Each structure stands twice: as structure tokens, then as C-alpha cells.
């Protein structure tokens, strides 16, 4: 049984963190921002798959396949597009309202490519 249904309401940053933190729900936090944005700062444990690649037909990273996805970007616009695209491919996907800006504003951790404190660009 899936925890998401297509067209579910968007998640808050707090809901996204609770669903992707640990094994309780088992969702994958999928960051669809571009490489430079990812390197500057992302949520610990997130999986990277740029929207430009997904639109071009790229497959999801192996760890994200056949898993429920919580999709995030910088502000929520690209993640909403990605969630719709992925749902159209049969994935369980929901996006995060306000994206990484909301994530950081809620006080959730952001790390750079080296694991140090990151920033949202």
C-alpha cells in the first residue's frame, strides 16, 4: 500500500523531513535542482536527480527506484513539475511546498558537497 496517491496535497518542510528521516516511512528525498545548487547545499541523505535530466528521459538513481518520493527544489516550482512528471511515469511522488528555502527556514540541516554547512542558492 502506498502512502501517497497521485495529486496529493504538497508537503510542508516539516512533513518532508519526518517522512524522509530514518526508516519510519522509507521515502526518498529527491532533490531536482541543478548540480551547482546541489553542491552549494542540500538536505543530508537526499538523492540528486536534476529536473533537466528527468525531462530529457534520464532514469532515477537506483536508490530512488520503486520508492515513494518526496521531491524538493529551491522554491517548490521545479519540484512540483518533477512530481507530476514522475507520477506520470508511475512513481509515487509528492513535492515540498517552498522547497529548500522552506527547509532551511524551518531549521532543518543543509550540507554542502563536502558535508559542511551548506547554503541555498
User: Coil, helix or strand for 21?
Assistant: coil
What 8-state DSSP symbol labels residue 62?
G
Residue 5 is predicted with a pLDDT of: 45
Cα atoms found within 13 Å of the Cα of residue 44, Cβ hemisphere only: 11
pLDDT of residue 121: 85
- Listed as ranges, residues in the chain with pLDDT below 70 are 1-8, 22-25
Distance CA 29, CA 47 (A): 6
Residues in CB range of 4: below 8 A, 6 or more apart: 68, 92, 93, 94
Residue 117 φ then ψ, to 5°: -55, 125
Amino acid at each position: 500500500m502506498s502512502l501517497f496517491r497521485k495529486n496529493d496535497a504538497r508537503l510542508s518542510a516539516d512533513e518532508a523531513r519526518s517522512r524522509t528521516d530514518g526508516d519510519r516511512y522509507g521515502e526518498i528525498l529527491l532533490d531536482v535542482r541543478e548540480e551547482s545548487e546541489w553542491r552549494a547545499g542540500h538536505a543530508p541523505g537526499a538523492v540528486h536527480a536534476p529536473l533537466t535530466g528527468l525531462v530529457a528521459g534520464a532514469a532515477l538513481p537506483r536508490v530512488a527506484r520503486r520508492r515513494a518520493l518526496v521531491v524538493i527544489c529551491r522554491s517548490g516550482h521545479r519540484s512540483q513539475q518533477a512530481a507530476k512528471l514522475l507520477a506520470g511515469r508511475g512513481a509515487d511522488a509528492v513535492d515540498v511546498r517552498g522547497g529548500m528555502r522552506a527547509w532551511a527556514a524551518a531549521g532543518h540541516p543543509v550540507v554542502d558537497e563536502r558535508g559542511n554547512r551548506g547554503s541555498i542558492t
